[in-house]
Each structure stands twice: as structure tokens, then as C-alpha cells.
A = this chain, B = another copy of it.
Amino acid sequence: MKSTKNAQVTLKEATAISTPKRSKRKAVPSKAKGVERIVGSVRKRNQTKILKAAEAVFAEKGFDGATTAEIAARTGVPKANVHYYFGTKQQLYDRLIENILEVWLDALDVIRPDAEPAQALGEYIERKVRASRDWPESSRVWAIEIIGGGRNVSAFLKGRLRQEVREKGKVLAKWAKDGRMDRVDPAHFMFLLWAMTQTYADFAAQIAAVLAKDRLNDKVFQTAEETIKSIILKGCGIKQEKV
């Protein structure tokens, strides 16, 4: 997981700007160059399309199960182009993995010593549930990676993530010391928050089937958020100083 932030396409940035629902734009109109200057070069658009397709395939099959042929087919480009743009399958996967953690790590920022526990944890839960709703496939790629042993991300797990948990754990300990919440094992508390929020992305198929729905709609995610908030906040003795 080397940093590749510099000027490269990331899925989340790019999809936020471009990717019109699903128009067949094989033959780019003559005005394309003007558009390109706004949404990015043909190169960038192709890269984005490939990344999007790759994310879907890796999320469904895992690294070993995914094939470059399927990624190419879903993108609508020849298989050779995938390799032309991203080199090996492993490099394509690595690139994708790097983008996944941004939202999750950003969300952690709200847990600060000076924050009000109910408000901070509430917002953290909101953000994590929203991430599960908006980028479920990112979550699934990550989940399959970890279930498979996490060999592609072990440096991150033992480094940055461990450090984040230690730091945020101190905040929780302080809140407990100040009598603003119960004393809970801070690491386990975070494992449980992650599990609860991410299950709505990772286990969406199971949840949808049980709820007799085709897919999880906004209402489901809202109930999820409320249920998690209510159980967590009350469960570790946080007074709702304001609702």
C-alpha cells in the first residue's frame, strides 16, 4: 500500500464527477475534447470505468476468483486494454485497495477528546453506515481481502490501523475516566462498531433476502443507523446530552 495519491485517478473522486448512469458512449461525439477537459482525458475515463468494473468483480469473486477477462467484458474494452492501463491484475487490485480506506479513516476524525461522546459516536456511526450505503462494493472487496487472511494489507493493519485504534482508544478511555461513558475495552468497542456498520454492505444479500427486498433501500439504512446508535450509546452508558 504505497501512496499513489498524486494526480492519479481514484474511483471515488472520479465517480463523483463523471460516470453518467449507463449511457453507451462508445463513439465519442465530436465535442468530446471539450468534455474531456472537464471530466478528464479519455485515458482517465477508461481507467475509471475499468476501476469501477474491477471493484465489482473483486467484490463478488475475491482476488483469485476474479478474472481480467470479466473485468474487461464489464468495462466493454478488450482484455489487453486492462493490462495496458494497469499492468498486472495484482497492480490493479492494489490500486483499488488503496482507495477503500479513505472514507473509513476520515470518519474516525470525529472521535476527539474535546468532542461530546454522544455527538461524536453518533456522527461516526452515521458516516460508517453512509459509507456502507454509498460504497458497498469497496467494503466487500476489503472484507474478502481480510477473510482471505489480509496478506495484501498486513502492513497497513499492523501499522496505521493499529495506531489509529490505540489513539482513539485513548479518547474512549478519557471519556470513561471523566464519567461520560462506561469503561469498555476500546479496541473491541471499535471492532464491534465496524462489524455493525459494515454488515449492511458486506451481508447486504442476506439482509435483503430476510427483509424480502430486492436490495437495501434508504429506509433500511436509516433503521440500521438508528438501531446501532440507540444500542451503542445506551449500551455504553452515554447520556444523550442533546438528541
Closest beta carbon of chain B to A232's beta carbon, Å: 7
Docked pose: A165 CA to B203 CA in angstroms: 15
- List A164-219 residues whose CB lies under 8 Å from chain B: 165, 182, 184-185, 187-189, 191-192, 194-196, 198-200, 202-203, 205-207, 209-212
Classify chain A's interface size. Answer: 35 or more
Q: Is the interface of A mostly helix, strand, loop or mixed?
A: helix
Residues of B within 8 A of A64 (CB): 61-62, 64-66
The 7 closest A-B pairs by CB, nearest first: A235-B235, A64-B65, A157-B209, A231-B235, A195-B199, A65-B65, A150-B205
A contacts, CB < 8 Å to B: 59-66, 140, 143-144, 146-150, 154, 157-158, 161-162, 165, 182, 184-185, 187-189, 191-192, 194-196, 198-200, 202-203, 205-207, 209-212, 223-224, 227-228, 230-237
